[in-house]
Amino acid sequence: MAIGCGSNKTSEKQGVPNNWPEIEQKASNQTVTMMMWQGDPLINTYMKNFVVPTVKDKYGIDLEIVPGQGNQIVSTLISEQEAGAKTSQLDMMWINGETFYQLRKIKALHGPFVDRIPNNKYINWDSPFIRFDFQQEVDGYECPWGNVQLAIIYNSEYVENPPETLQELENWVKSNPGKFTIGNDFTGMTLLKSWLTFFAGGPEKIKGEFNEEVYRQSSEKLWAYINRIKPYFWNGGETFPSSVAQMHQLFANGEIWFTMSNNDSEVDNKINQGLFSENSRAYVPTYGAIQNSHYLGIAAKSDNKAAAMVVINYMISPEAQYQKMKPDVWGDHTILDIDRLPQEWKVKFNEIPGRQYAPQRSEIQENALMEPAPEYMIRLFSDFRTEVMEK
């Protein structure tokens, strides 16, 4: 499946040669600056100890990673536009969802480029969870890098039967005050999107472009539900964790008995690291959980587009995706269609050790929910503060 089809003339004007050997030649000895979230030690180690030295060895490219995500990426590129900068300080970025939406609106992304990357032929474009980013066709302006599903993590020593419905959750929270909370961050808002989908009446009700009336009606029910159980949250609902790392720390310390992760296999990583007890388990409630992909984009004003394309091509290669999918490395699910890979790689992927403490992907796929349009996420972030935190 071709995702976009930019012309050769357009590519030449944007500083990208017309064929892949020339692109690799131009990429050699270049420096690529990548902005990405650096909030997880395993991800940082994978990038620093595997990707960075490999692209240097294979292609002579120096990959420099700088911290930043979401609004920081958007504000950096907007500031450059307002200053009239001819080139960007960023070459590539780790993005998805509302960040992709905002960057497309200000025309800050280079593309389409994905159809020109050789390893594009292995991407599982048949999956709507990869082809669509928060209901948006990626259109070749970002390249999928990994695919994850939100999972709830609980301590099975104290929680014998984790709640499967929102009514069961309400009953549990009221019976176990102080042991549950929601993070005021991307992961917390991803959970709330699952709840919003439930209160909207199901995935079909929230599908497509942002609908103000659907949001108003479903969010009223959402805020009423949360505020009803908020007094029984950790710290009496007076404060909320600002990051998933803080949630994990509270969970590891036993202050709360539930945490959550956008990576459905992260519980295995944390147990292997000795951060979570072996009583930790992950599951997806019957009402469902958001599954999404995360992507790599190239700045429109980057003067190292060819080198960024070479780095991205490697990051979606079977070699890099295989390493990233190992539970003891990152456990990030691949965006490749295993059936399209050469036989030797099919065998390798099929031999990746299975999960011990998280459900298999095949078990939770039926409860996977599509991401709603990006405006829902933006509104949830804003309204969670005014309708819950400040009340």
Q: Is the pLDDT of residue 5 over 90?
A: no
State percent of the chain over pLDDT 90.
Answer: 91
Q: What single DSSP character describes residue 209?
A: S
Domain 151-291+364-389 classification at class level? alpha beta
The sign of the CA dihedral 226, 293, 110, 316 is positive
How would DSSP label each residue in 88-143? -S-SEEEE-HHHHHHHHHTT-B--S-GGGSGGGGGB-TT-HHHHEETTEE-TTSSE
Query: How confident is the model over 187-237, as pLDDT tens digits?
Result: 999 999 999 999 999 999 999 999 999 999 999 999 999 999 999 999 999
Cα–Cα distance list, 136 to 101, 210, 311, 376, 382 (Å):
8, 11, 24, 13, 21
Contact 207, 175 (CB under 8 A): no
Q: Residue 17: which residues within 8 A CB-CB, separation 6 or more? A: 11, 23, 25, 26, 306
Across the range 365-370, mean pLDDT stands at 94
Contact 3, 140 (CB under 8 A): yes
What's residue 4's pLDDT?
36
Find, among 91, 111, 102, the residue nearest to 133 by Cα. 102
Query: How confident is the model over 23-45, as pLDDT tens digits?
Result: 999 999 999 999 999 988 999 99
Across the range 342-361, mean pLDDT stands at 92
Find, among 231, 283, 281, 290, the residue nearest to 251 by Cα. 281
Please state the domain extents for the chain: 8-146+293-355, 151-291+364-389
What's residue 13's pLDDT?
46
**What is the H or E stretch that residue 154 is in?**
strand 151-155
Q: Is the pLDDT of residue 1 over 70?
A: no
What's residue 355's pLDDT?
86
Contact 277, 270 (CB under 8 A): no
Across the range 359-387, mean pLDDT stands at 94
Query: How confident is the model over 254-276, as pLDDT tens digits?
Result: 999 999 999 999 999 999 889 99
Supply the CATH classification number for the domain 8-146+293-355: 3.40.190.10
Residue type present at position 370: M
Q: How confident is the model at residue 2 (pLDDT cuts 50, 70, 90)?
A: very low
Residue type present at position 391: K
Contact 63, 32 (CB under 8 A): yes
Mean pLDDT (the chain) is: 94
CB neighbourhood size of 376 (10 A): 27
Question: Is it true that 8-146+293-355 and 151-291+364-389 share their CATH fold?
Answer: yes
Q: Return the structure tokens found at 250.
A: 């509270």
Q: Is the pLDDT of residue 11 over 50?
A: no
**What is the H or E stretch that residue 193 is in?**
helix 186-200
Q: Is the pLDDT of residue 73 over 60?
A: yes
Q: Does the N-terminal peptide bond of residue 112 adopt cis geometry, omega within 30 degrees of 0?
A: yes
What's residue 248's pLDDT?
97
Contact 77, 108 (CB under 8 A): yes
What's residue 10's pLDDT?
42
Q: Is the pLDDT of residue 341 over 60?
A: yes
State percent of the chain over pLDDT 70.
Answer: 96
Contact 313, 16 (CB under 8 A): no
Across the range 273-295, mean pLDDT stands at 96
Q: Is the pLDDT of residue 85 over 60?
A: yes
Across the range 250-256, mean pLDDT stands at 97
Confidence (pTM): 0.88
Across the range 238-252, mean pLDDT stands at 96
Q: How confident is the model at residue 7 (pLDDT cuts 50, 70, 90)?
A: very low
- Spatial separation of the C-alpha atoms in residues 308 and 301, rounded to whole Å: 12
What's residue 354's pLDDT?
80
